[in-house]
Structure 1
Amino acid sequence: MAVKKVSVDITSHPLSREENGVVFKVRNGSARFGELVVSKGGIRWKPKNKQDHHHMSWGELDRAIRDYPRK
């Protein structure tokens, strides 16, 4: 499995709106892999070379993780 590099841009204000989320930039070597935004409304994943984010509310994320089979 390739090693991923993850960097984060944390602002000093509370998460009050979806636009003010914490942004995690994920790279695969020197290539961009995607971007994860964590905000008050949930999480958004934006794969490389895509315009739209995939959004999950906190409730949807909770259900998805609970339903994910454990190994």
Structure 2
Amino acid sequence: MAHTVTFNVPQRALGREDIEFVVERDGVRFGTLLVSKGAVEWRPANKVYKRRLRWEQFDQLMQESGRRV
């Protein structure tokens, strides 16, 4: 199960427009990760909704659930 990640970076300082990371698994879109100055969002493939975490929440999630490397 190989993942491919591509991204588009806006041509200006990070603000309202997100940096978009397209994540593919075995050549099929797995989802899109959107990064902004206020939050990180995940939009699964073929879904309209997104899941949002503020940076403080993301930090807490990674501290509790992330694997130390």
Scaled by the length of structure 1, the TM-score of the pair is 0.86
CA distances 1:16-71 after superposition (whole Å, capped 9, x unpaired): 21xx0100001112211000000011100000111100000000001111112646
Matches of 1:36 and 1:64 in 2, distance apart? 16
Q: What fraction of aligned residue pairs are identical, expressed as a percent? A: 29
Measured on the aligned residues, the alpha-carbon RMSD in Å equals 1.4
Using the TM superposition, name which of 7-16 and 56-65 deviates more: 7-16
Say how many residue pairs are matched. 68
Given candidates 14, 24, 28, the residue that maps to 1:27 is: 24
Q: Following the alignment from structure 2 to structure 1, what is the Cα–Cα distance between the partners of residues 45 and 66?
A: 27
Alpha-carbon distance between aligned partners in 1 of 2:50 and 2:31, rounded to the nearest angstrom = 10
Normalised by the length of structure 2, the TM-score is 0.89
In structure 2, do the counterparts of structure 1 residues 69 and 48 end up closer, same or farther at CA, with 3 Å as the change threshold?
closer
Determine if the alignment matches structure 1 residue 41 to structure 2 residue 38: yes
Where does the alignment leave 5 or more consecutive residues of structure 1 unmatched? none
Which residue pairs with 1:12 in the alignment?
11
What is the CA–CA distance in structure 2 between the aligned matches of 1:36 and 1:70, rounded to whole Å?
A: 19
